[in-house]
Amino acid sequence: MTLAEPPTPSALVDLGLLLRNADRMRAVAAGAGVVLRPHVKTHKSPRIARIQHAGRPGPITVSTLAEAEAFAAAGFEDITYAVPIEPGKIVRALLLCRKIRLTLDLDGPEAAGALACAAAKESLRVPVLLEVDCGDHRCGVEPESAESVELARRVADSSGLDFRGLLTHAGHSYAATSKESVRRIAGEERTAVVSLAERLRAGGLEVSTVSVGSTPTMTHFESLDGVTEIRPGNYVFFDAFQASHGSCAWEDCAMTVLSAVVHRSEERIVLDAGAIALSKDEGPRDLDPSCGFGRVLDLEGSDTGLRISKLTQEHGEVALPSGFDASRFPPGARVRILPNHSCLTAAQHAEYLVLEGGEIVDRWPTIRGW
């Protein structure tokens, strides 16, 4: 099938670029001597997760229990659910803990108490990581605080819990606008968990997992000394944000949305990919105020220079620069859109059309819901 045939909008994945991105991060992990535990929320596809592990169902990170359940059903047996578990999800999580190695994330005493009780009642010993805040200020304990040590000790002393170590995510690397500042944040990400791990070990606790990772920091880190595993996710697709911020080249971006022109006038063309098919992520606006909501590429993947200027639910408007010859974009003409944030865009699509040599060679379903 060529790109003239599939329904629009559709998510496209360029197989060659995907394989290259996956190989590169595997080489980064191997070079640093750490386990690669990719975050699969980026693609929600067991096929892609296997590619990230050279064909095997290796260790992965998820951000929903629906992902954990579906990847477990697809043969993945070592999964970290990297969102603090809240009491309402414990029963469901424990069902999966009976089948595979599901590591849970804790960052406070209330959920720790509820999980310890529920696990002990079921005679389970659930692997747990303590989430640490390395500067993102989303979730996690303060690495320098006395509470972080107390919580780790409490988890380690609970018969239903198996304290495995520490996890952090430098989400604030997304606000950095230079490689130097990403490098500094990668240093903070590492130091937050490595130094807390040292304090815990000094207090007699065993800390076997020290887990870090975001795509920007895993692209620009200086050292991973003391780290045992990395959890980048976005790198397998990349997107306009990552290319603008220097995590990749534009030619590395592997995921696009196939879309058709539904309307053309002197001033604009309108596409059938709107906010649902693309997401309203503002992407690299801090570095490139004219980035719009995505780059309009031709079917070969070359930049047309056009940007999505406005989004409504199912319409993507492209304001045309004055004098732009839009004769090649009559209604029905097809383009590809490079999204600002591939993870959010991909999450809207039920399948990927796999592109190789200009042809659709496969379709890979994705996991939906929570």
Which range binds ligand PLP by CB under 6 A, 121-129, 181-189, 230-238, 259-267? 230-238
Least distance from ligand PLP to the Cβ atom of residue 82, Å: 4
How far apart are alpha carbons 235 and 256 in whole angstroms? 14
Which range binds ligand PLP by CB under 6 A, 207-215, 267-275, 305-313, 344-352? 207-215
- Token couple for 291: 């980035």
Q: Which is nearer to ligand PLP, 89 or 334 (CB)?
A: 89
Q: Return the residues of window 340-359 that contact ligand PLP according to CB under 6 A.
A: 343
Q: Is 228 in the site for ligand PLP (CB under 6 A)?
A: no
Least distance from ligand PLP to the Cβ atom of residue 133, Å: 11
How far apart are alpha carbons 178 and 219 in whole angstroms? 12
How far apart are alpha carbons 38 and 362 in whole angstroms? 23
Nearest to 149 by CA among 205, 104, 228: 205
Q: Provide the terminal-to-terminal Cα distance of the chain, rounded to the nearest Å.
A: 32
Alpha carbon distances (Å) from 364 to 201, 323, 350, 360, 367 = 44, 41, 9, 11, 10
Of positions 44, 169, 172, 190, contacts ligand PLP by CB under 6 A: 169
Q: Return the residues of window 25-44 that contact ligand PLP according to CB under 6 A.
A: 39, 42
How far apart are alpha carbons 116 and 119 in whole angstroms? 5
Total number of residues that touch ligand PLP (CB under 6 A): 14
Nearest to 152 by CA among 135, 129, 170: 129
Burial of 104 (0-12, 13-18, 19+ CB in 10 A): buried
Using left for φ > 0, alpha for ψ between -120 and 50, and beta otherwise, residue 283 falls in left
Q: Is 212 in the site for ligand PLP (CB under 6 A)?
A: no
Q: Is 164 in the site for ligand PLP (CB under 6 A)?
A: no
Of positions 46, 84, 143, 213, contacts ligand PLP by CB under 6 A: 213
Q: Is 234 in the site for ligand PLP (CB under 6 A)?
A: yes
Nearest to 40 by CA among 59, 20, 17, 21: 59
Least distance from ligand PLP to the Cβ atom of residue 81, Å: 10
Q: Which is nearer to ligand PLP, 106 or 306 (CB)?
A: 106
Q: Is 214 in the site for ligand PLP (CB under 6 A)?
A: yes
Least distance from ligand PLP to the Cβ atom of residue 49, Å: 13
Q: Is 215 in the site for ligand PLP (CB under 6 A)?
A: yes
Least distance from ligand PLP to the Cβ atom of residue 32, Å: 16
Residues of this chain that bind ligand PLP (CB under 6 A) = 39, 42, 61, 82, 169, 213-215, 231-235, 343
